[in-house]
Amino acid sequence: MPFQRLTWPVRTERLLVRPLGADDIPAVFAIRSRPAVARWMTACPDDYDEFTRAFSEPARTDTTLVMLHGGALVGDLYLAVSDAWGQHEVAAGTKRTQAEIGWCVDPSYAGQGFASEGAAELLRLCFDGLGLRRATAAAFAANTASIRVMEKIGMTIEGRGRRDCLHRDLGWVDGVTAAVLADEWRAGRPDPKPR
Ligand SMILES: CC(C)(COP(=O)(O)OP(=O)(O)OC[C@H]1O[C@@H](n2cnc3c(N)ncnc32)[C@H](O)[C@@H]1OP(=O)(O)O)[C@@H](O)C(=O)NCCC(=O)NCCS
């Protein structure tokens, strides 16, 4: 459980970031059930009880952080540590060396740089906090705002899968993957603030 290895909460210039708690679930549901948010997310939640059950399980509580600004929950962040791929003889060296990260912001607070600020903090947690070597992110290619967040925090777009993702409304569409390595991040942390 990587979050237990870190000290909470953490603060950025404008955000307080900490692991999801049971009291946060109504606000997270309210954000994630908004059509503009659900459009690009893995799931479109419509049943509060089902959502509460899912977000009370370790699969979510071990991977979900919330972002608070002035006491208001403005979005959530995803940080899931995993093993890299490696050949059998060196497989031990691949264990828990990378993470997938993600973000979601209340549309009422969009366009203020909160996703970029939270995502930049995710990288700090991945590399300084957890000592990981690589962080990845994925999005539908049409999700330009999310891809911009990846670029702003210093991730490199590594691939565009041709119609490799099935979207609930758009059908088979292109997906984008991005990554940043710990040493790249150390060499030049980009400023996540708007240009
Ligand atoms: C994607 C999302 C997290 C961005 O949140 P945000 O707090 O508005 O993002 P930021 O303010 O940090 O800025 C993101 C960048 O994208 C740009 N952007 C925002 N909306 C955009 C759009 N519709 N088209 C193109 N660029 C856009 C912003 O201008 C900014 O770039 P800039 O600083 O160079 O101007 C938010 O829109 C969201 O939650 N969307 C729905 C859920 C989602 O897509 N999650 C990610 C799944 S992969």
- Give the separation between CA 25 and CA 187, rounded to whole angstroms: 37
Structure tokens at 34: 């908004």
Pinpoint the alpha helices (H) of 55-164.
58-61, 114-124, 144-152
Whole-number Å distance between alpha carbons of 29 and 46? 9
**pLDDT, position 67:** 98
Which residue ranges in the chain fall short of pLDDT 70? Answer: 189-195
* Per-residue pLDDT tens digits for 160-176: 999 999 999 999 999 99
pLDDT at residue 188, as a whole number: 86
Is 151 in a helix, a strand, or coil? helix
Mutation to probe ligand 1, out of 14, 44, 100, 104 (largest number of atoms < 8 A from CB): 104
Residue nearest atom 33 in ligand 1 by C-alpha distance: 194
Q: For atom 41 of ligand 1, which residue has the closest CA?
A: 37
Spatial contact of 84 and 57, defined as CB atoms under 8 Å apart: no
Q: Contact 79/63 with Cβ under 8 angstroms?
A: yes
- Measured at the alpha carbon of residue 139, what is the angle toward residues 138 and 142, in degrees to the nearest 5? 155
Pairing of strands 134-140, 98-105: parallel
Question: For residue 29, what is the enclosing H or E element?
Answer: helix 25-32
Element of type H or E holding 52: helix 48-54
Q: How many residues does the chain have?
A: 195
CB 137 within 8 A of CB 150: yes
Q: Is 94 in the pocket of ligand 1 (CB under 6 A)?
A: no
Q: Please choose from 15, 108, 149, 174 the residue to mutate so as to test ligand 1's pocket, defined by most ligand atoms within 8 A of CB.
A: 149
Taking CA atoms only, the protein residue closest to ligand 1 atom 5 is 115
145 φ, ψ (degrees, to nearest 5): -65, -45
CB within 8 Å of 177: residues ≥ 6 apart: 136, 137, 138, 157, 158, 159, 160, 161
**φ/ψ (deg, to 5) at 11:** -120, 140
Q: What is the pLDDT of residue 193?
A: 63
* Binding site membership of 195 for ligand 1 (Cβ less than 6 Å): yes
